[in-house]
Structure 1
Amino acid sequence: MCSHRPMKFFVLISSLVFVLSSCTKKDNNKNYLLEGSLKKWQPLTLTFNGPEVSEMDSINPFLDYSLLVNFSNKDTTYTVHGYFATDGDAANSSAENGNKWRAKFTPGETGKWKFKAYLMEGENIAVKQFTLPKKNKSIWNVNGEFQIQPVDSTANGFYRTGMLVYDNAHYLKQSETGKPFLKNGVGSPENFLAYSEFDGTYDNGGPATPTLHEGLHDYSAHVDDWKDSDPVWGFYNGKGIIGALNYLSGKGMNSLYFLAMNENGDGNDVWPWVAPNEQTRYDVSKLDQWEMVLTHMDELGMAMNVFTQETENDTILNKGELGLERKLFYKELVARFGHHLGVVWNLGEETNRSPEQLKSYADYIRKIDPYNHPIAVHNHVRVTGERREGRPLDPIKETFTPMLGYRNFEVPSLQMYDTTEVHKEVKKWLNLSVQKKKPWIVYLDEIGHWDIGVTTDTAANNNHDMVMHSSLWGSLMSGAAGTSWYFGGKDVPNNDISAEDFRARDAWWDISNNAKKFFEDHLPYETMQNHDELVSNDKAYCFAKKDEIYVVYLPKNQTTDLTIGDGAFTIAFYDPKVGGMLFDKQNEGWKITKPNSVELSAYNGQKEKDWVIVIARK
């Protein structure tokens, strides 16, 4: 086991400076440093001088101080929680003490903004004080203003398309473009942040992973995917993890599922604290290094599905209740990472917590998150034959039914043991949510038996064709808003917590990206819904905007009739495995059988393939 973190010999140099972005404003009289591009959707940073303290100070800098900043324009006010930042350059310096206090804010509107910042002191004030004090009870208060310019049209990722928001629909919306967001996600390794070049990170006794070096990820296969303009910290640390993100983004993957805390869990190697048992003392340099990785994800347009706990450890904090340590955990996550543009807060992987507990978590996060990021939870798995009190056990139903219509919950994160049930299960929860007048965004976030998931390309039991049909297209053709792909749990290279080289599934990323590109390039999918009643073969799927456009997924060796509207239509065929162009020969693969009905079959007689067929009004 290593020490808290090694100090590098360049600390005395790096800790004396801030690395500034394109706009910096320092006013010694007003005690703040403003950094950022001052462009819409790009975060700005306010750094203040405050008390000189350390992570382990007798007055806890995480609990007993509270920095709150109100950012306001002519229309609204955002109350943003700040945090202790040691020397202001902890990612590079590994500093454990300092006098810098920081808040990050992402402006979603142009024009003039003002801010009012208060640093307050008091026992446990960080989890008690959520508004600026009416009277001046603060150590200090600071006022300032700045001007935000329009979106940088040359920016990348979410800095160009805007924050992902819930808009009372079945897909998240990109705030700047107004377009829906279809998640094409990576779901393993769940301990993505168990990276050897993060400070204070070590294997704390998790399961043996002999394919990893001392139980941690290096992502050495992706060092060459790092680019000269990409971030690093310290002595060029971070190339492996940044390179891995670059590779995945280049394959069309736009989302990552990861645990922010797995202490006493499967990996037992990810936590935000200075040590696993110091749950009110946060490791500032580690979290600043996480921040560099998450900022790169924003630039790549990769959404962050932030899992706050897992099934093995969801009683670690306050025995599962919303107590002091849990409140502080959520507050630190929101304060340090809430400004990111693609965040979904997930209340727990394979949750065991009661509906009342889950709702209390969601209420608290919504109260302190100024951006109202979507809130999700992941169900425990349904296993055939399991019973409770003489009846079949249905953890999916038990998790999600109490959450239907709940004001502070938007995303059921589905785990499906039986992939043949994916299609109907997604339809079920979409329909139930509409009935409760709060449409859900349904994600498929884990599939299959725990030790299988999606296999590597070269696996003897390669299951890509099956997963493509049942889970990828099965979910999207039901109206799911996207997927995350779990790798399976056997202790072999490149499965769940042992995953190092994402190229082991290079062919799968292409198959998954084919589906995303098809939906984005050819369909007004946000206006469509499942219409399986229009096809005669129950092995086929139909997704449609009736009388305008119909999409049918036809498995190999199958035919089906499709009921369509009156008038002239075009037809085109798409190979979901190969991707690429649409084949649009008019007389190969369909024929009119009766008025308002066509018989669909494989394109050009290629029955050994699955086909996606598009029938659109001329």
Structure 2
Amino acid sequence: MIASFLTPRGSMAIAVVFAILLILALSVFFLYTRQGYISGNRAAPTHISGQIIVDPDHPRWFKYHEGGPFFMCGPGDPEDFLYRGMRNADGTRTGDQMALIDKLKGTGANSIYLMAVRSHGGDGDATHNPFVDNDPGKGVSTAVLDQWESWFKEMDKNGIVIFFFFYDDGAKVWNTDDKVGGEEKNFIDTLVNRFEHHKNLIWVVAEEYSEAYSKERISNIAAEIRSSDDYDHPVAVHQTGGLIFDFPDDPNIDQFAIQFGANSPTELHNAMVTAWENASGRYNLNLAESSVANGNLDRKGKWAAAMGGSYVMILGMDIENTPITELEDCGRLVRFMTSTNFYEMAPHDELKYAGTEYVLALPGKSYIAYASSLPESGMVGLRNMAEGAYDFKWFDPASGETVTQQNVTVSAGDKGWVKPSVIGSEVALYIKRVDMATGSVNKDLTSPTTAISKDFRYDDSSRWTEDSLAVWAAPDPDDSLLFITHKKGKVDIWNLKTNKIVNTLTGFKSANGVTVDQLENAVYVTDPLDRVVKKYFISALVAGDLSPALTFGGDFAQAPNPMGVTVYHDEGSFVYVTYNSKGQIGMSESYVRVFKPDGAFIREWGVGKVELESIKADDDNKVILVADESNNLVKVYRPDGAFIQDFGVGVFGGEAPDAEGIDIYECDDDGYIIVSDQKVNEFVIFDRKTYKSLARFKVDTALDTDGIALTQASLFNYPDGGFFAQSSNAYVEGVSWSKIASATGMTICMNGVLGP
């Protein structure tokens, strides 16, 4: 036998056997990875070019694979689309389906809401299913699926989404409790395998699912759909009312199909913003059944929902009786949204100014402002604009009229702009900054041999209490503030022009971590001994109200002591807090916990039996940096807690090395990460992109530094920005950033923008 394999023919046999084994191995691997996750992440699927998929970079939204962004606005009816017309003997129909598709063509409205099973307790009659002779025991009718395919092919060719429900509300064919039985599995697999080749397809498990199914059954059906689908189309679930999704972390469910009625567009918009906040970046929103004041959703209602972060499908828009103008309203909304970078934005109504009602924004970079009824001389406006050059795109939602203005110079502050005369009273304005990245960031840095001299010292004459720092850059630079926490239970607030304490926050057992949210103009402080996080609004502090607006984060039995805090912005704001167990460091697990700005807990992840304190969010690069003081390095995580890498291994010095305070110097999405090397009284500069150690520097008399902070705003005493370092737990040293840049070769990027 062995000798025969050594002949030429035997060599061929070896090759054949090897090929068979390889195919089997790959098949097993494929089947395994299709079931869920490898190392905590969904396995990379195979997609069709141009297919609708979950946007891997912005999972709140869908996109076209190898293409641009996807936005949906269209009919949320007719539910009986597949069963319109007289039934033929073979189960096919003599209905108006193709006429409805033809009516949608060219309008830009891009969806039809349809259902496979409307019998067995659903809203249809006993013939509203695809089974042979309408008998589930006989299997699915090939003739019926062939007819559906003819309609789906035409929809797909014209960019109309097949919003495909397996089950109508109340429809339940198989009573198998929480499990997917063999007959149901065959039914699902048959439909998925027949139609999965379509690009414009979203699977929906069930309408108002709780009328017939448990959560467990829905999750199992979704898992079967995902397992059977070779191209990983998005999967949705529809609920009976409410804005809290029952499947927020299900790996096989990508969209919350929302049912919601409101009394006004504004109420509808606010509801979608609430749903957006509840989603916390975990799934897509689709207002799949919507109405306002017991009527169909008009154009202003569609825009109100879209500006709240949701796709829009209109209840009662049955196509047959829908005016073409209403379909075209949807088309204009889709066309406008897909001409923007809406998928990078989040609802930011706090930025509205003048006549603006709703705002989507990636603050500092791009904005969509909407006004439903602007007077002729009225203005569309935005608050807290950064100085720079912007492109403007004015859009009339009623007519589609568009006016573009390029390189518009905008000064800093709250700004408004008068609409062009050809734009009607309903206005959408897309603004995008265009002077962002016109230079390069120097990475060839020098470590100066002498310490950099301080410019100012912030000393309240107390000793051995200071810990962490944060800077608030005010709209009027002279009002900018430095927050310094004290372990003995207070936070001093210094004015950075006068260099004097203007207020002190008390009521802490031990104030430790502090961070400023520049977008919300809020400050967060951790109290590890009281086991809480406190939130303050700066406007209230300036007015003399020193009481916290919110106290949260104190409900954890394991690792109950909050230490460091940061705010991450990506399609919303999220508060990240490190937690240790005081007295048990190194013996019990430490955590990073995530909260909404209202204090609601979202999720957590364990970091190991290590000491955690400093934490910093990098919004542009979508990572969270955590200082691991036990292993003397910095850990990098995705915002969902997935570990990416460590950096700084072996970089931090001294007999007992200690990586402490972290801050980021931004140059658009590039720049530097600064980390305190506490035991050698130095600060290490890392590449923000590669995490490579580039250089280090000292600040004279900045010793044993824990917390650091920096500002890239031009302030009275720091015209090129400033760097602040806590020293010996006794005071804080302030240094002009220009000194550090001159000594090291670092690029200066004012306000985080890379200049020419």
* TM above 0.5: yes
SS at match of 1:180: coil
The equivalent of 1:516 in structure 2 is 334
**Structure 1: which amino acid aligns with 2:313?**
S
Residues 1:406 and 2:262 are matched in the alignment = no
Shift of 1:371: 2.2
- Structure-2 change in CA distance of 1:166 and 1:586 (3 Å): closer
- Structure-2 change in CA distance of 1:452 and 1:316 (3 Å): farther
SS at match of 1:275: helix
Residues 1:596 and 2:406 are matched in the alignment = no
Residues 1:615 and 2:449 are matched in the alignment = no
The equivalent of 2:316 in structure 1 is 487
Maintained 8 Å contact 2:386/2:412:
no
Q: Which has the larger radius of gyration?
A: 2
- Structure-2 change in CA distance of 1:162 and 1:202 (3 Å): closer
The equivalent of 1:258 in structure 2 is 114
Once the two structures are superposed, the pairs formed by residues 123-142 of structure 1 within 5 Å of their partners are none
Residues 1:478 and 2:308 are matched in the alignment = yes
Shift of 1:565: 1.0
- Structure-2 change in CA distance of 1:568 and 1:371 (3 Å): closer
**Structure 2: which amino acid aligns with 1:442?**
L
The equivalent of 1:270 in structure 2 is 128
Q: 2:368 aligns with which of 545, 551, 556?
A: 551
Once the two structures are superposed, the pairs formed by residues 147-296 of structure 1 within 5 Å of their partners are 161-162=50-51, 164-167=53-56, 169-177=59-67, 179-196=68-85, 199-200=88-89, 218-219=95-96, 241-263=97-119, 264-268=121-125, 269-296=127-154
Residues 1:298 and 2:156 are matched in the alignment = yes
Instruction: State the TM-score, normalized to the length of structure 1.
Output: 0.56
Counterpart CA distance in 2 for 1:305 and 1:617 is 36
Counterpart CA distance in 2 for 1:75 and 1:325 is 24
- Structure-2 change in CA distance of 1:604 and 1:451 (3 Å): closer
The equivalent of 2:299 in structure 1 is 468
Maintained 8 Å contact 1:254/1:303:
yes
The equivalent of 1:565 in structure 2 is 386
Once the two structures are superposed, the pairs formed by residues 452-467 of structure 1 within 5 Å of their partners are 452-454=295-297, 467=298
SS at match of 2:151: helix
Maintained 8 Å contact 2:208/2:239:
yes
Counterpart CA distance in 2 for 1:201 and 1:294 is 19
SS at match of 1:359: helix
The equivalent of 2:229 in structure 1 is 369
Shift of 1:76: 7.8
SS at match of 2:167: coil
- Structure-2 change in CA distance of 1:551 and 1:451 (3 Å): closer
Q: 1:341 aligns with which of 199, 220, 239?
A: 199
CA deviations 1:249-295 (Å, max 9, x no partner) are 32112222210110142232421102334344221211122122222
- Structure-2 change in CA distance of 1:377 and 1:614 (3 Å): same
**Structure 2: which amino acid aligns with 1:524?**
N
Q: 2:358 aligns with which of 541, 550, 555?
A: 541
Counterpart CA distance in 2 for 1:200 and 1:422 is 45
Shift of 1:474: 1.6
Instruction: State the TM-score, normalized to the length of structure 2.
Output: 0.46
SS at match of 1:445: strand
- Structure-2 change in CA distance of 1:601 and 1:348 (3 Å): farther
Counterpart CA distance in 1 for 2:156 and 2:251 is 27
Q: 2:403 aligns with which of 582, 587, 598?
A: 582
**Structure 2: which amino acid aligns with 1:543?**
L
Shift of 1:380: 0.8
Counterpart CA distance in 2 for 1:163 and 1:583 is 29
Maintained 8 Å contact 1:414/1:443:
yes
Q: Which moved more, 1:275-284 or 1:361-370?
A: 275-284
Maintained 8 Å contact 1:511/1:577:
yes
Counterpart CA distance in 2 for 1:422 and 1:469 is 10
- Structure-2 change in CA distance of 1:553 and 1:341 (3 Å): same
Maintained 8 Å contact 1:164/1:343:
no
SS at match of 1:301: coil
Counterpart CA distance in 1 for 2:24 and 2:282 is 31
Q: CA RMSD in A?
A: 3.8
Shift of 1:571: 4.1
Maintained 8 Å contact 1:308/1:347:
yes
Shift of 1:557: 4.5
Aligned residue pairs, count: 391
% identical equivalent positions:
23
Maintained 8 Å contact 2:78/2:112:
no
CA deviations 1:271-329 (Å, max 9, x no partner) are 11023343442212111221222222222222211111122324665467533443232
Maintained 8 Å contact 1:251/1:510:
yes
Long gaps (5+) in structure 1: 1-69, 82-106, 110-158, 204-215, 220-240, 382-394, 455-466, 489-495
Instruction: Identify the structure with the greater strand proportion.
Output: 2
- Structure-2 change in CA distance of 1:443 and 1:600 (3 Å): same
Shift of 1:566: 1.0
Counterpart CA distance in 1 for 2:152 and 2:160 is 9
- Structure-2 change in CA distance of 1:408 and 1:601 (3 Å): same
SS at match of 1:181: coil
SS at match of 1:430: helix
Shift of 1:363: 1.9
The equivalent of 1:87 in structure 2 is none
Counterpart CA distance in 2 for 1:176 and 1:546 is 27
**Structure 1: which amino acid aligns with 2:193?**
A
**RCO higher in structure (CA 8 A, sep ≥6):** 1
- Structure-2 change in CA distance of 1:200 and 1:338 (3 Å): farther
The equivalent of 1:457 in structure 2 is none
Once the two structures are superposed, the pairs formed by residues 105-144 of structure 1 within 5 Å of their partners are none
Maintained 8 Å contact 1:262/1:271:
yes
CA deviations 1:563-615 (Å, max 9, x no partner) are 1111234544321111132265999xxx99x9411135655498x82211233
Counterpart CA distance in 1 for 2:279 and 2:162 is 24
